[in-house]
Chains A and B, each alone.
Chain A
């Protein structure tokens, strides 16, 4: 089986008054992700090919995937498949990559969400809505110790587009 080719569709960049090591810790430890990532706890085997999970506060699996690159404290990349929501779990997995670079006295964090099929804008809107909230909260946690309390729902158009995509399965050629 050949690896699918992932094309970047959503990129979010922020700068954080922190160190590369602390940003790495915030991205990869459950203690941190619970604070800024909607209460989800990350669970990751720290090696290429390892298992990646995001769990709901009650322990159920929300996302699952595998580690594509584990290069602390510079690059963490893994595939994501939604497990915990109907319809969404039928979509092909996407690839999420975090790049961490020193930028003077701050750290530049770049999140890239890439896909192996032509994803409609209505579905991309999910990530484009969510990432600014998640990564704004991550920055606040690292700089102030306090997370942001942002309530987000998946956009309605997104859920309709997901239903349509699941019915047509455009990723199958």
Chain B
């Protein structure tokens, strides 16, 4: 059996092992590869950076625990910027499985880090079923959709919510999502209430949303772990996404190598088969 024939019949488990090693090695021995910042990520950062002090922003936790590697670093980096800039943050989720607990843990962690007071500097609205009705209803009254927050406190008792009645008082919406809910935020909230917004989405979703940025329906976009790492760089808080980017780059190089090797093996063995036949 020739070399290329052996390559074309390679047990796929060797490929899994090689990818695993390519991911693990840079975590043990950081390579600090260079990373550029895309205009879409910078636009999102600038949109929040230029908001006046004490502006109210909404940050959504519209993602499942399975995608936290890409999405959670975006939420954390966004909160670094929002709390550093002294913005008031309202958070919510449309995801039942894990959304409420991730929002709760992240907000408490970041709120404590920046010595922010719950109810005054930030509010966690929690989860509410039927996202279409939720997004539409908050346009007329947030309190009618969320009579109480994640912890059962009536909104009327939270100082921040006494000044925020609907989208009119929200300066920017930062959506972090791993599903099609971003479409609804754009087509319902941006289109009908003209609230400026930007999004951090998983890599699988990202290509679709560039058209919204081009059409100016969204101010900026973060795509996958790369987008999260870019935002960590912009807010100058390197963390999990930036750590993971060495692994990402090495794994991509490996996959490119596999794609080339697979194609060469295919054509080399086909040529041999044709000459034999």
Whether A and B are associated in the same complex: the answer reads no
**Residues on A facing B (Cβ under 8 Å):** none
